[in-house]
Amino acid sequence: MESMFSKNRPGWAALLDRKVADYLPDLKYTHDEPLARHTSFRIGGPAARMTFPTSCEQLVLLMGFAEECGVTPLLLGNGTNLLVADEGLDTLVLQTGEGLNRISLDGETIIADAGVSLARLGVFAWQHSLTGLEFAHGIPGSLGGGVVMNAGAYGGELKDVLTEVTALFPDGVRTLRGEELALGYRRSLFTDHPEAVVLRAKLALQSGSAEQIKARMDELAAKRRASQPLELPSAGSTFKRPEGYFAAALIDQCGLKGTRVGGAEVSRKHAGFVVNVGGAKCADVLALIQKVQDTVFTATGVTLEQEVKIIQ
């Protein structure tokens, strides 16, 4: 498979180094940063350059630098739905989860930067007696990634509360609302426009009982601990839910629990998860995903579509 970064301009890194040194000298900016440190799978080789913007203004500036230097950047929130190549990435990685983390409140509406974790948003809502984000408390990803994929769990999804998104497009910063966001199952306008970068979003909630909100969050957390392999590195649910079926049930019916390739294994606790049981490589996970897809299709005729995003 051709790398999505293969068209980067030769010498882009040296050009970018000078830009950052001249205009953002205090920015955290690293060379050959191991991406295994920044993904929940604990898999991934080094990024040629990685930076950690602390404001939306810095992020916009860095995106402009990337365009001028001829490099296609990768936006990385909390790295919870990604599988990164073992060879690493010859590109600039913009890590938003560490620095773009501002949250504010306007009445019953939360305004948050793209790097804020969904789990933290759930806690913030509870602390202000606002209901509507209980489902998000156990989702480890960032708001930006959650918007792109319309993240959801246990009957709730961001679509239920998301009212406005400010994003950077090639022609400038735009604010989208309502139907413009094209929110559906694990998709949005941004899945069709990967060149756009989510900067911040607004979530409209409702007043509720802090005690009841906390009880619901505790209930969902207990369900996750009981059913999901949270003790092992993974990228969450490996496959999307096929129409009319549940991916985990199909995989389980095919006797694939515990199937292993290298350090990658179909979780014995939840068949919908591929987990890193120790030293797993990207190639191990890809081979195991293919084996699961082939076995399920042969046995049931159902095609499993991967939910985890492959970055090579």
**Catalytic residue list:** 186, 237, 307
- Asked if residue 143 lies in contact with residue 201, where contact means CB atoms within 8 angstroms, the answer is yes
Under 8 Å CB-to-CB from 258, ≥6 apart: which residues? 265, 266, 268
Provide the terminal-to-terminal Cα distance of the chain, rounded to the nearest Å.
8
In what side-by-side order are the strands of the sheet with 46-51?
29-34, 46-51, 89-95, 74-76
The CA radius of gyration of the chain, in Å to the nearest whole number, is: 20
Alpha-carbon distances of 190 from 42, 77, 174, 204, 309, rounded to whole Å: 26, 15, 13, 20, 14
Residue 243, judged by CB atoms within 10 A of its CB (0-12, 13-18, 19+), counts as exposed
How far is Cα 171 from Cα 219, in angstroms, rounded to an integer?
A: 44
Which of 36, 33, 68 minimizes the C-alpha distance to 48? Answer: 33
Which of 148, 82, 94, 146 minimizes the C-alpha distance to 120? Answer: 146
Read off the tokens for 22. Answer: 């001249």
